[in-house]
Copies of this chain bind each other. A is one copy, B any other.
Amino acid sequence: MTDRFAFRLLARDGAARRGEIRTPHGTVQTPAFMPVGTQGTVKAMYPEQVRALGSDVVLGNTYHLMLRPTAERVARLGGLHKFMNWPHTILTDSGGFQVMSLAQLRKLTENGVTFQSHVDGSRHEMTPERSVEIQQLLGSDIQMQLDECIALPAARDDVERAMRLSLRWAERSRRKFEEMGGPERGQALYGIVQGGDVPDLRVISATELGAMPFEGYSVGGLAVGEPQDVMLRMLEETTPAMPEDKPRYLMGVGTPEDILESVARGIDQFDCVMPTRAGRHGLAYTRFGKVNLKNARHAEDHRPLDEEAECPAARDYSRAYLHHLVKAGEGLAAMLLTWNNLAYYQSLMKGIREAIEAGRFEDFRNETRENWARGDISKLA
């Protein structure tokens, strides 16, 4: 334990923010990308590698961990940091999102959600209080309130009902978090802004949550099926209504472009399975856009993904070899491409942070977008 949760704004450039979050397990430089460690592992990566890429924080999924190996077992084994050999900051979600997307026989009431495990069919109840309890057992540094996240498009009435329920759950979550001594341990609980694609509901949600003493605020319920321009417009409506002095986390987002554009709209934290999942499906992210290694045109391509990259996965292996590994179904394909992708994401975040500090975020954004638009170099060869 090094410190209590604290957030400090270091620089601004337009709406973009450069900050620093302190937690009991370290310091997180923002804007930050948080690799997803669903079941207590960032898939196909050793934790030391994740750290060496500049990751200050990883995410654990409450839903998955509560079912297997269970939060109680993780607690008996000394908590999630020790369990997964990640002594740095951990953020956990509330479990609500996966309860609604993965679990079976869900039933939502004012009190919470009952559901059946997708692993073994066992029955569980998730309430705001239980979610906090599980996250306390896991011992994460940054915890999330339980909320109701509904898919878009949705009728305004449904969006409002879910948003109001999420506000009531925010209060219950906060009460439980304080009862359990979260603040004394230096941990953080974030409230989650809902309101779908309805600007005034987003503002109500942000304002009411802002009046509660959360350490940080998430923007939930985006990247759930709406077009990118809708998501970005919602951020433009939402972030000005969020507290200035608290970190802002856009949940489950996104592509490199989503991240760049969301930073431009005042977001500080991101998580997404995209770089890790894509890495297991033969897709590489690079400075010049995406490269699909399944494609036969790479079969005799001597070039590495990016010879100027620092990451060995990008620099020391030919596209021909990566293509071969993908076609042959070798585990090393996922290992190298995930490594490359997380390295690219973290180098993008580093570039963003440096650009904000230097007051040249707009230039950086344009250069980065130009490189993406240029595309895979081999097309020009």
Give me the interface of A with B, judged by CB distance under 8 Å.
39-41, 43-46, 48, 68-69, 73, 76-78, 82-85, 299-300, 302, 312, 316-318, 320-321, 324-325, 327-328, 330-332, 334-336
Knowing A73-B299, A77-B302, the reply to whether A325 touches B85 (Cβ < 8 A) is no
Minimal beta-carbon separation of A280 from chain B (angstroms): 8
Instruction: Say yes or no: A41 contacts B332, CB within 8 Å.
Output: yes
Separation of A45 and B335 alpha carbons in the complex (Å): 9
Separation of A355 and B30 alpha carbons in the complex (Å): 54
26 contacts between A and B (CB under 8 A): A39-B324, A39-B328, A39-B330, A40-B328, A41-B325, A43-B330, A43-B331, A43-B332, A44-B335, A46-B332, A46-B335, A46-B336, A68-B324, A68-B327, A68-B328, A73-B299, A73-B300, A73-B320, A83-B321, A84-B321, A85-B317, A85-B321, A331-B331, A331-B334, A331-B335, A335-B335
Instruction: Say yes or no: A332 contacts B45, CB within 8 Å.
Output: yes
Minimal beta-carbon separation of A310 from chain B (angstroms): 15
Instruction: Say yes or no: A321 contacts B40, CB within 8 Å.
Output: yes
Separation of A84 and B317 alpha carbons in the complex (Å): 7
**Given the complex, which residues of B lie within 8 Å of A324, measured CB to CB?**
39-40, 68-69, 83
Q: How many copies does the complex hold?
A: 2
Separation of A44 and B330 alpha carbons in the complex (Å): 8
**Given the complex, which residues of B lie within 8 Å of A328, measured CB to CB?**
39-40, 68
Separation of A344 and B98 alpha carbons in the complex (Å): 39
**Given the complex, which residues of B lie within 8 Å of A321, measured CB to CB?**
40, 77, 83-85
**Given the complex, which residues of B lie within 8 Å of A331, measured CB to CB?**
43-44, 331, 334-335
Closest to A339 in B: B46
Among A76, A83, A324, max chain B CB count under 10 A is at A324
**Given the complex, which residues of B lie within 8 Å of A77, measured CB to CB?**
300, 302, 318, 320-321
Among A45, A46, A82, A300, max chain B CB count under 10 A is at A46
Instruction: Say yes or no: A300 contacts B45, CB within 8 Å.
Output: no
Closest to A301 in B: B77
